[in-house]
Structure 1
Amino acid sequence: MGRPKQFDPDAAVEQAMQVFWRKGYAATTPQDLVDALGIGKGSLYNAFGSKHALFERALVRYRDGQAQALIDLLEQSGSVKGRLRDALRLLVELDLGDPDRRGCLAVNTAAERAMTDEAATELVRRMFDRTEGAFRALIEEGQRAGEVASDRDARAIGSQLLATAVGLRLLARVAEGPDRLSRVIDATIDSL
């Protein structure tokens, strides 16, 4: 009979997500994870199999929490342009308010692991697809409501908004303040 688990796996994935988010995949050592999770290496590998398997679970947790929060904001009621502006401002506020300036775990993972890590690349691609789909749906709603010109390609605008959000997340990591980021948001909304 095996010993009962001495830790909460969900809490461990949350802690691991925080470490990967702060340090990146490559710079995170198994010892970093052991220290953050408060468990032994044997328990880490018995529970999660590998550092990479734990990283994948951390990305899924990020998607289900952080990334979903943006989509939830976009799907609220109210002015389409107002919701879009609020969503982009929220990203900037979160990033500038983070003392570690971690940015977005999905964006960071795309920059670090794209095309060298098939599983992580696919998880990030699906997160981006989901976000882009939410942007496109919002634009289509705006077109039906007359807030966005109906002759504009909603799919192309959705892609542009995803690129804007990704760019904002990267710029916020090095921004001295919100001015440049606010200009990007205002220009984006004004272009609709």
Structure 2
Amino acid sequence: MPRVKKFNEEETLNKAMCLFWKNGFHATSMQDLVAYLGINRASIYDTYGGKKELFDKAFAHYRNKNRIQLTSFFKQQKSVKEGFRKLFEQGISEAVCDSEHKGCFVINVATELVPNDEEMLSVIQENKAFMLATFKDFLQSGVDSGEISPIKDLTNLASVLHTFFNGIKVVSKTDPQEKELITSVDTVLTLLD
């Protein structure tokens, strides 16, 4: 008869995500996971596989949550310009309030693993493609409503805004100066005028 799991898999995956996000893949040991998750090593292996498999699932969980949140966020916005302003300001606020200075999990993974991990490079590239397409679709809604000029190069704009959004997260990790970052938001949003 199979053993009954005495832990919530979703909750445990969320906790693993937070630990990997804070420490990175290499600096998180299996013993760290056992202690932080509060479950034994055998349960981790039985449920998720090894450390790498748990990391992959936790990272996929993070990306999926962010995609749902971003898509939902953009759908709620009445103005594209104000929507991007809110998105950037929210990113700044999260960074300034984050006492652990974790930054963005995707960026952290890219800088830690991509140079030597082709599989992870593919995952990061796919995530970037999703983000760019989502940004471009949101910009297109601004063109459709007359808020943004139809002569704008939406592909280029999406790329610049995505790069800026990632840049906010990198800069705020080491120097979370809210006033300076908000000034940068004002500057970059002039591209939508």
What TM-score does the superposition give when structure 2 sets the normalisation length? 0.93
Letter of the 1:167 counterpart: G
CA distance in 2, matches of 1:120, 1:48: 18
Q: Quote how far apart the aligned CAs of 1:60 are.
A: 1.4
**Structure 2: 5+ residue runs without aligned partners?**
none
2:150 is paired with a residue of what secondary structure?
coil
Letter of the 1:131 counterpart: M
1:150 is paired with a residue of what secondary structure?
coil
Equivalent residues in 2 for 1:14-163, closer than 5 Å: 14-163=14-163
Q: Quote how far apart the aligned CAs of 1:67 are.
A: 4.1
Report Cα offsets for 1:34-74 as digits up to 9, x if no partner. 11111111221121111111111111111122343233212
Per the alignment, residue 164 of structure 2 pairs with: 164
1:95 is paired with a residue of what secondary structure?
helix
CA distance in 1, matches of 2:77, 2:144: 14
> Does the 8 A contact of 1:56 with 1:120 survive in 2?
no
> Structure 1 pair 119/7, CA: closer, same or farther in 2 (3 Å)?
farther
CA distance in 1, matches of 2:82, 2:110: 29
CA distance in 2, matches of 1:164, 1:125: 17
Q: CA RMSD in A?
A: 1.5
Note if 1:181 corresponds to 2:181. yes
> Does the 8 A contact of 1:132 with 1:159 survive in 2?
yes
Percentage identity across paired residues of the two chains? 27
2:76 is paired with a residue of what secondary structure?
coil
Report Cα offsets for 1:80-113 as digits up to 9, x if no partner. 1001110111111111111111111111111111
> Structure 1 pair 58/182, CA: closer, same or farther in 2 (3 Å)?
same
> Does the 8 A contact of 1:95 with 1:103 survive in 2?
yes
Q: Count residues in correspondence.
A: 192
CA distance in 2, matches of 1:18, 1:91: 17
